Amino acid sequence: MAATCPIDFDVASLRESVRAVYTRVAADPSGDFHFHRGLDYAVAALGYDPAELAALPRLATERFAGVGNPLAMGALAVGETVLDHACGAGMDLLLAARRVGNAGRAIGVDMTEAMREQAMRAATLAGVADRTRIVPGLLEELPLDDASVDVVISNGVLNLSPDKRQALREIFRVLRPGGRLLLADVVVKRELTLPVRQSPELWAACIGGALPEPELLDLVRAAGLCDGRIEARFKSFAGSSAEAKVSVDLELSAVNFSARKPQI
């Protein structure tokens, strides 16, 4: 079970490694990383609409580091409150803010200050700062009230959590009854070897903490969410240096996955 990080991992230093990587992405997304980034990747590998992305500030699209396309899984209604669960520089957050209109709310939570600063700048440039709130926080302790969110979107971040059960419990808590989870994350064909799971570098590259697909579905169900369904698959690491570091038969890929909080 890879729901938690290996027991000899120090969670605080793991978080610091993850924060250091995404601080570097925030400062210079064209640097050398194990994972793909940016608008061209989002369009070619993940099916984002090029015109919609071209209309967003480049500082958000250049720093995009997701692995799937959560907003492709369902329309957002005008007036809804959406949480972008570890929003990074905010590409999905801005798309959500546009879709919910000025009666809605788009809330981004992220633990990396440099990413939050870019996301806030991007929201202002995109003209959606009025309905966007970006707050510091951890996936495992979301700084939001119970039942305060209609939709949680999450792109490439659950794998980074050292305690995925707790992160999913938090999603369940903040969703209102009937609320939706639209999650994209990395999956592997079988559990990763301990050396891969123990590498802070591969963990921060969204690989070391990836779950086998059935385990992801089981954890979502165990958190109380229902109607879990894989909606699409992506070869998000094709051609990346991360792919070269894990064995081919692990079939490193990503899924779009939806679920919902029961009404009662």
Ligand X SMILES: C[S@@+](CC[C@H](N)C(=O)[O-])C[C@H]1O[C@@H](n2cnc3c(N)ncnc32)[C@H](O)[C@@H]1O
| Cα(171)–Cα(180) distance, integer angstroms | 10
Binding residues with ligand X: total (CB under 6 A): 22
Residue 242 near residue 35 (C-beta atoms within 8 A): yes
Instruction: Establish if 86 lies at the interface with ligand X (CB under 6 A).
Output: yes
Give the single-character DSSP code of 104. S
Q: How far is the CB of 61 from ligand X (least distance, A)?
A: 9
| Binder among 92, 170, 213, 243 for ligand X (CB under 6 A) | 92
Over the window 122 to 151, marking each residue x when it contacts ligand X by CB under 6 A and - when it does not, the resulting string is: ----------------xx------------
Q: Are 172 and 181 in contact (CB under 8 A)?
A: no
> Contact letters (x/-) for ligand X, 168-197, by CB under 6 A?
------------------------------
Q: 182 φ, ψ to 5°?
A: -120, 100
Please identify which residue in 14, 160, 187, 254 interacts with ligand X, judged by CB under 6 A. 160
For residue 138, the minimal CB distance to ligand X (Å) is 4
Tell me if 152 contacts ligand X by CB under 6 A.
no
* The one among 65, 76, 82, 259 contacting ligand X by CB under 6 A: 65
Secondary structure element (H or E) that encloses residue 107, with its range: strand 105-110
Helix (H) / strand (E) element for 153: namely strand 149-155
Of the candidate residues 107, 122, 144, 206, the single one contacting ligand X (CB under 6 A): 206
Q: Which of residues 98-117 bind ligand X (CB under 6 A)?
A: 110-112, 115
| Burial readout 238-259 (b: 16 or more C-beta within 10 A, e: otherwise) | eebebbebbeeebebbbbbbbb
Cβ nearer to ligand X, comparing 78 with 87: 87
Please tell me the distance from the alpha carbon of residue 195 to that of residue 55, in angstroms, as a whole number. 42
What token pair was written down for 43? 């369009």
156 binds ligand X (CB under 6 A): yes
Could you tell me the smallest distance in angstroms from the CB atom of residue 220 to ligand X?
Answer: 17
Cα 135 to Cα 124: distance, rounded to the nearest angstrom: 15
Q: Computed over its alpha carbons, how large is the radius of gyration of the chain?
A: 17
Residue 82 near residue 104, CB atoms below 8 Å: yes
Residue 48 is a binding residue for ligand X (CB under 6 A): no
Binding site for ligand X (CB under 6 A): 18, 22, 64-66, 86-88, 91-92, 110-112, 115, 138-139, 155-157, 160-161, 206
